[in-house]
Copies of this chain bind each other. A is one copy, B any other.
Amino acid sequence: MSSRADAAAEKRLKILEASIHVFARQGFAAGRISDIADQAGVAHGLVYHYFDSKEAILDELFSERWELLVTMIAQTADEDIPARDKLALVAQFIVDSYHYGPDLMKVIIVEVTRAVNTFGKTHLEEIREAYDLIAEIVRRGQKAGELRDEIAADYAALAFYGATEQVLTGWIFDLMPSQEEDFDRAAAFIVETVCGGLGMPAH
């Protein structure tokens, strides 16, 4: 009984994976449903059995992953560690997300996070939530006296997230080397760059 259900779920997953690949390589606009179906090894009609539309696939791709990020940031924010360590964990999480699944992160960044006229608009609340949680980390760090409060927390959050995403963009555009060692150093660099400035200057 469940073998059929399993087989079905498997196909659904295959379509999702194929979509990641196709959207990463061709972009959402140029990626055809038939490309996805080919890549997944199914008839293109079947895609519509599992998803309502091409957009719905991207929606699911984004939301599923982004929720992980939001959850992770929320949990990290609540931990009892210095703000700087929290940001380091967030940066590392994002870098790792790219490291272990560059195509999906590419799709999320290129097709959603920055697509103000299309999907960004749809997922604005989810995106905002992540920014807000990062700002919350900053705010708590400021309240705890760990971070300077001259800088508005929301600007700081934007800067932190922007710096991180731009490093990923550097890899995506192949403007920056992306060897193992680069993934290892990246998060540290980002935090060092941003937090050095956010951290209280020693006298």
- Given contacts A162-B162, A189-B151, A194-B197, is CB(A117)–CB(B27) below 8 Å? yes
Contact indicator per residue, chain A 143-169, by CB within 8 Å of chain B (1) or not (0): 000001011101110111111111101
9 closest residue pairs by CB, A with B = A162-B166, A196-B197, A27-B117, A159-B163, A197-B197, A162-B162, A155-B189, A114-B114, A162-B163
**Cross-interface CB contact of A193 among B114, B159, B176, B192, cutoff 8 Å:** B159
Partner of A124, one of B26, B162, B175, B186: B175
Contact partners of A117 in chain B: CB under 8 A: 25-27, 30, 110
The verdict on A53 contacting chain B, using a C-beta distance below 8 Å, is: no
Query: Can you list 19 A-B pairs, Cβ within 8 angstroms, ordered by A?
Result: A29-B29, A29-B118, A110-B115, A114-B169, A124-B175, A131-B170, A151-B193, A155-B185, A155-B190, A158-B176, A159-B167, A159-B190, A160-B193, A162-B165, A162-B167, A165-B166, A193-B194, A195-B197, A202-B203
* Interface residue A139 (Cβ < 8 Å from any Cβ of B): no
Contacting residues, chain B, for A114 (C-beta < 8 A): 109-110, 114, 169
Check B151–A158 contact: CB distance below 8 A: no
Contact of A201 with B196 in the complex, beta carbons under 8 Å: yes
Cβ of A33 within 8 Å of any chain B Cβ, yes or no, is no
Residue from the set A25, A163, A169, A190 with the largest chain B CB neighbour count within 10 Å: A163
Known: A158-B163, A162-B162, A198-B196. A124 touches B189 (CB 8 A): no
With A155-B189, A195-B197 in contact, do A173 and B116 touch (Cβ < 8 Å)?
Answer: yes
Instruction: Tell me if A18 counts as interface (CB < 8 A to partner B).
Output: no
Contacts of A186 in B (CB 8 A): 155
